[in-house]
Chain A
Amino acid sequence: MTTYAVEATDLVKIFGKHRAVDGISLKVPKGIVYGFLGPNGAGKTTMIRMLATLLKPNEGHAKVMGYDLGKEADKVRHSISLTGQFASVDEELSGRENLIFISRLVGYSRKQAKLRADELLHAFQLEDVAKRQVKKYSGGMRRRIDIAASIVTSPELLFLDEPTTGLDPRSRNQVWDIVKALVKNGTTVFLTTQYLEEADQLADLIGVIDRGKLIAEGTSKELKSSIGAGSLTVHFDDSEELKKAQNIFISQFEQEPDINEQDISLTVMIKEHAKAAKAIGELANTNVQIKDFSMSQPSLDEVFLTLTGNVQDQEGGDSTNE
Chain B
Amino acid sequence: MNKPSAIEEILTNRTRPKSPPAIQASATFAWRALLRIRYVPEQLFDVTVFPIIFLLMFTYLFGGAISGSTGEYLNFVLPGILVMTVSMITMYTGLDLNKDIEKGVFDRFRSLPIWQPSVLVGALLVDTLRYLIASTIMVTLGYILGFRPEAGFSGVIMGVVILLLFSFSLSWIWTMLGIIVRSEKALMGISMMFLFPLTFLSSVFVDPSTMPNWLQKFVDINPITFVVDAVRTLIHGTGTNGDVMIVIYISIALIAIFGPLTMYFFKNK
Which residues of A does B touch, CB under 8 Å? 49, 52-54, 56, 74-75, 77-78, 80-82, 84-93, 97, 101-102, 104-108, 112, 119-120, 122-125, 133, 149-151, 153-154, 156, 174, 177-178, 180-182, 184-187, 322
Contacts and interface: CB of A to CB of B under 8 A. Distances in A.
B39 interface: yes
Contacts of B104: 84-88
Contacts, number: 129
A90 B113 contact: no
Given A54-B110, A105-B20, A92 B8 contact: no
Given A104-B24, A174-B3, A184 B105 contact: no
A154 B28 contact: no
Given A88-B104, A107-B18, 11 more contacts: A54-B110, A88-B107, A88-B108, A91-B103, A93-B39, A101-B32, A105-B109, A119-B10, A150-B108, A153-B17, A182-B11
B17 A106 contact: yes
A108 B12 CA distance: 16
Contact of B112 (A84, A85, A106, A125): A106
A78 B14 CA distance: 11
Contacts of B110: 53-54
- Pick the most buried of B7, B19, B269: most chain A CB atoms within 10 A of its CB: B7
B83 interface: no
A152 B31 CA distance: 19
A87 B14 contact: no
Given A88-B104, A123-B6, A180-B4, A93 B16 contact: no
Interface of B: 1, 3-20, 24-25, 28, 31-32, 35-36, 39-40, 103-105, 107-114, 268-269
A123 B19 contact: no
A186 to B, nearest CB: 7
Contacts of A53: 110-111
B263 to A, nearest CB: 14
Contacts of A150: 108
B7 A178 contact: yes
B65 to A, nearest CB: 45
A105 B3 contact: no
A84 B108 CA distance: 8
Contacts of A81: 111
Contacts of A156: 14
Contacts of A187: 11
Q: Lowest 7 A-B CB distances belong to which pairs?
A: A107-B17, A77-B113, A185-B11, A181-B4, A153-B16, A82-B111, A86-B104
